[in-house]
Structure 1
Amino acid sequence: MRQLNILIWHIHGAYLTAITSTQHNWYVPTRPEGGEGYAGRGLDSTMPDYVREVPADQVQNLDLDLIICQTPKNYQVDRFDILSPEQQQLPVIYLEHNTPEPHPTNSRHPAADDPNATLVHVTYYNQLMWDNGQTPTRVVEHSVAIDPALRYEGRRDEGIIVVNELQRRGRMAGFDLYEQLRKRVPLTVAGMKAQDIGGIGEIHYRNLHKRVAEYRFLFSPMRYSSLPLAVIEAMTIGMPIIALATTELPTVIENGVHGFVSANIDELADRMQYLLDNPDEAKKLGDNARALAQRRFGLDRFVDEWNSVFLDVVNSSESINSTASSIL
């Protein structure tokens, strides 16, 4: 397909790195004061050179084909603040990363019933649970763009959690479970403000997975979340997963094959200790996890699916505009 000019806000750095593997002209807005979505490429970015920063007050000068929103603020405020009236008529994709809030089944999506938007969910669970109204929806499952040469080592007799601001996010992110389980098994956490709760702190994305690979297993304590990218990243390098059997994860991790999932915390603690005591078994489960990640969450599949979405959205918009012009 032809290269498109796409505007996207910097909301999730890891996901932005993956989606910009589609070789289009990507523009990320910046503001001197920063703020949600305006960090540009980010510090020491690993994204390709065709991902360009543009000052927010110059976005109106761009010849754009497509707008991608990822938060209610992007959708309800930002696009009207920085886009010209003509740009505001361009096709919009709302990329939804999160599970519904405040209610798991009765929350209406901000883009529900918008005839000019396409709503793309990152899991089928999200698509199922959100009230999407009449807005057309698609699902493009996750992928990650990390060094393909990285491999699991598992030499540390310890598990690791990778969650930003775990304490602030509380029970939803499983902070209480981390506090319980680290009294029973060696367990640490990486991410923003992790050092405040006894963890190893924030690690730049460029170096994160090499450090994570040292640990015996990755634990995802998230009670209610979309499929965490940390899980996909760990699987991609060949690491076994232990996680709560909630949301999309039971469709990904098969017990005794890729790791273990359960809603029973005692059972999870026992499985953690099992992997600590049996590094060869951990390696075998990690190999299976990596094979699954290559099949289900491979970057080539992800790029192809996103390009298909882009093509459908842009072609549909062009067809509607052409019909309108012929009527006029």
Structure 2
Amino acid sequence: MNVLVWHVHGSWLTSFVQGPHTFLVPVTPDRGPDGLGRARTWRWPSTVREVSPADLHDADIDLVVLQRPHELALTRRWTGRRPGIDVPAVYVEHNSPHETPVDTRHPLADRDDVPLVHVTHFNRLMWDNGRAPTEVIEHGIIDPGHLWTGEEARAAVVVNEPVRRGRTTGTDLLARFAHTVPLDVFGMRTEGLADRLGLSAARCRSHDLPQGELHPAMARCRLYVHPIRWTSLGLSLLEAMFLGMPVVALDTTEVREAVPEGAGVVSNRFEVLEEAVRRFLADPDHARATGEAARTAARARYGERRFRDDWERLIKEVTR
């Protein structure tokens, strides 16, 4: 089966393309947002093929996986086929609603020919899905291994563009966390973060690492801090749990479901979060035990095999 899918979210797509199909990924000369092509920082199998827009018109396509509203029109322009009408399609919604948490109507809400796939139950609940048929297929993580050492008495944070995204990603909270534990902030466009927060370079170190170096660097930190106020369930939180890291996180969106009792500390009370950080710093054995529980929980719920099985079931339903 040939599946047309755009390279939008590299981490999610890395798990998705492990399936038993051929994946057609558009590529343009400038490798812009609509034509990134194959990943350069993740390992993708040879079944992922780059295809130019010109070649898509005559390509054999069995399923289109949409992830952004404008891909509906883009598919028709580049392939000559209408998603959900001329070719089977699904739409993966990676995000929680942004404009308002309860009154945002999904772009597919007026259609019933393209299943709408949410990545968390919280997201499906909060979006106004209209008459679109909805599914939830939770994230699946390729196990990076139990890499945690906790040798550095620091907290890892992963967030892309923390200065621009501000309160959405809890960037303002990092200054307060940094008074309790030095931070290593990983992600894209994190430069200048310490200055913006009024922190010394030692209290807030920024890192923009290739994907292959990210997990070992995170795992050297004693714990993982997840300050996100309002985005979908972050893959970085799940990846930290797979690494065997104890996690301290805000009790927002789907986090409570992802981090069960004993796998970390989840709260909206800052004094509870700070006390958890202090205990993990002071007691490496407690950090290790909590991280092992986190890894066990994450592997049970967010394993790659379950993710692939869920997608195979849906793909068969949509294309039969």
Interval containing the TM-score (normalised by the shorter chain): over 0.9
Paired residue secondary structure (1:132): coil
**1:156-206 deviation per Cα after TM superposition (whole angstroms, max 9, x unaligned):** 100010111111111011110112221332112100112321433211112
Per-residue deviation, 1:268: 1.0
Paired residue secondary structure (2:191): helix
1:220 aligned to 219, 222, 226, which one?
A: 226
Give the aligned residue type for 1:153: T
Q: TM-score, normalised by structure 1?
A: 0.90
Change (3 A) 1:270 1:254: same
Give the aligned residue type for 1:154: G
Aligned to 1:63: 60
2: CA distance, partners of 1:136 / 1:259: 35
1: CA distance, partners of 2:42 / 2:108: 30
C-alpha RMSD of the superposition: 1.5
Paired residue secondary structure (1:49): coil
Aligned to 1:156: 152
Check the 8 A contact 2:180/2:277 in 1, yes or no.
no
Paired residues in the alignment total: 309
Q: How does 1:96-135 map to 2 (within 5 A)?
A: 96-135=93-132
1: CA distance, partners of 2:81 / 2:303: 38
Aligned to 1:249: 255
2:141 aligned to 126, 129, 144, which one?
A: 144
2: CA distance, partners of 1:44 / 1:176: 29
Paired residue secondary structure (2:207): coil
Per-residue deviation, 1:21: 1.2
1:290 aligned to 286, 295, 307, which one?
A: 295
Aligned to 2:188: 192
Q: How does 1:1-328 map to 2 (within 5 A)?
A: 4-75=1-72, 77-85=73-81, 89-147=86-144, 149-198=145-194, 199-255=205-261, 257-315=262-320
**1:104-156 deviation per Cα after TM superposition (whole angstroms, max 9, x unaligned):** 01111011131220100000000111111111111011112243x44211111
1: CA distance, partners of 2:316 / 2:68: 23
Per-residue deviation, 1:289: 0.7
Identity of aligned residues (%): 36
1: CA distance, partners of 2:65 / 2:259: 30
What are the ranges of 5 or more consecutive residues in structure 2 without an aligned counterpart? 195-204
Q: Which moved more, 1:123-132 or 1:53-62?
A: 53-62
Q: Which moved more, 1:286-295 or 1:28-37?
A: 28-37
2: CA distance, partners of 1:150 / 1:58: 42
